[in-house]
Amino acid sequence: MSFNILHQVGHFSNWNIDSFLYDKCGDGLILSPVHQARSAVEKMIPAVKGNSLFDPQYYLPNSQKAKLSTYDFFPEVISKGFSTSDFPLVALQSAQMCVDFQLAQRFSGIVIPARFMQQLTSRYFEKQEEYTIVPFLKVLSNSGVTMPIYLTLPLTAAMLQDEESHRQLLNWVTGFPEISGVYVLVNDDRPSKQIRSKEFLSGYLDFVHLLSGADLSVIAGHLNTESLLFTCMTNVSVTFGSFENTRMFSMDKFLEADEERRPPKPRIYLPPLMNWIQYDQALQIRSEAPDLWDRIYIPTKYADEVLNADVDPTFNQPGLYKHHFMCLQRQLRSFADLPPTDAYQALRSALKVAIALYADIEEAAFDLDNHGSGAHLQAWLDSLNGFYRRHLKA
């Protein structure tokens, strides 16, 4: 595997499936049981499942979410009320049923789930092995599986920014020779939609580079447009998603929420800015500064249709998300198809262009909302340059 792009599937999975099948966006999908009931996954056509992975999502094993309960192997279901002391008694049975399901659906590989834990202590490794890794590897050994096996690594931002944690995790993962890849997810409780921490991004890039350097295929899950920064690596898969809960990993989606959440304002992805902009603010630029608009907007059939409609879009309509898939697919490929050092140079130049475009937007007297601003770009550029100096510079 060199560089792959996977849909991180959430609600309205048909948007991702249509994008994959008909627009040729992405190389496959990562399916989510918290968003897709078992019957929905089973009904997907072989052309989709054969290019997809299934994330069993044992992150919060006592989750009460309805769709998770349709899977008889989920810890809360199989143990009829998850408890840390009782689950090891049924862990092997859970592993057998989960592996059987993944094999029956003929996915492109097997994903071993893991719990989400806040601290990287010695008990972290012991518990992960007891709950899932050892039982799953035993089942897989008995099943004679030859397809790729991915180990889930749900981390915190603190783990990602600590070199000693990197070393411990690498030593642990490479202790399982059956594992061919790692599915990395990072719980990052940041206040902004885009990552603005150079330290976070530098740690993430270094950790993925470390894993791939150990001949492990790495899937970086639940990414937003920071996926662009990984294009100067090989043996890496990145993800893109529609709603924000597929572009930022959080434990919230596994909790029952009593309060109703306000629907987000629609946004449009503008590739030259490497960001999503509020749709109404994008319309202002389009109307009042058409020359500037032509420099930041990359047309697709989906966005053109939305922009030319008589009514504004809502967050639960597919047009702007399918536009995002097409734009980001092209953007990622434009860098990833280059040798790593050339990809770095091209990405560095693109980041500088984005910073200059934001300056032009500011000069034209458009004040974008906090999330639509370019506040993330300098941290991206700094972390990319640091990665180049540490790993790519001859």
Q: Tell me the two tokens of residue 67.
A: 């769709």
| Distance separating alpha carbons of residues 341 and 134, to the nearest angstrom | 39
3-state DSSP helix/strand/coil % of the chain, to nearest 5? 50, 10, 35
The label of the residue with tokens 């594992």 reads 179
Q: Give the pLDDT band of residue 263 (cuts 50, 70, 90).
A: confident
How many other β-carbons are positioned within 10 Å of the β-carbon of residue 96? 18
Q: Give the pLDDT band of residue 261 (cuts 50, 70, 90).
A: low
In the predicted structure, residue 155 carries a pLDDT above the cut 90: yes
pLDDT for res 189? 87
Range 224-238 average pLDDT: 96
Q: Do 369 and 358 touch, CB atoms closer than 8 A?
A: no
pLDDT for res 260? 54
Q: Give the pLDDT band of residue 368 (cuts 50, 70, 90).
A: very high
Please enumerate in sequence order all residues whose Cβ is within 8 A of that of 250, keeping only pairs 6 or more positions apart, or say none. Answer: 187, 189
* Sign of the dihedral through C-alpha 110, 113, 119, 123: negative
| Distance separating alpha carbons of residues 3 and 192, to the nearest angstrom | 27
pLDDT for res 110? 98
C-alpha dihedral (230, 236, 242, 248), degrees to nearest 10: -70
Element (H, E) at 31: strand 28-31
pLDDT for res 169? 96
Q: Which candidate, 125, 102, 128, 101, places its Cα nearest to that of 114?
A: 128
Range 49-73 average pLDDT: 96
pLDDT for res 258? 44
pTM for this prediction: 0.96
In the predicted structure, residue 144 carries a pLDDT above the cut 70: yes
Per residue in 334-351, pLDDT tens? 999 999 999 999 999 999
Per residue in 86-125, pLDDT tens? 899 999 999 999 999 999 999 999 999 999 999 988 789 9
Q: Give the pLDDT band of residue 257 (cuts 50, 70, 90).
A: low
In the predicted structure, residue 145 carries a pLDDT above the cut 60: yes
In the predicted structure, residue 332 carries a pLDDT above the cut 70: yes
Average model confidence (pLDDT) across the chain: 95
Helical H segments across 245-374, by residue range: 279-288, 290-296, 301-307, 319-336, 340-363
Per residue in 164-196, pLDDT tens? 999 999 999 999 999 999 999 999 889 999 999
Per residue in 242-252, pLDDT tens? 999 999 999 98
In the chain, how long is the greatest CA-to-CA distance?
A: 66
pLDDT for res 92? 97
In the predicted structure, residue 394 carries a pLDDT above the cut 80: no
Range 263-285 average pLDDT: 96
Which domains does the chain show, CATH number per domain?
Answer: 3-254 (3.20.20.70), 267-392 (no CATH)
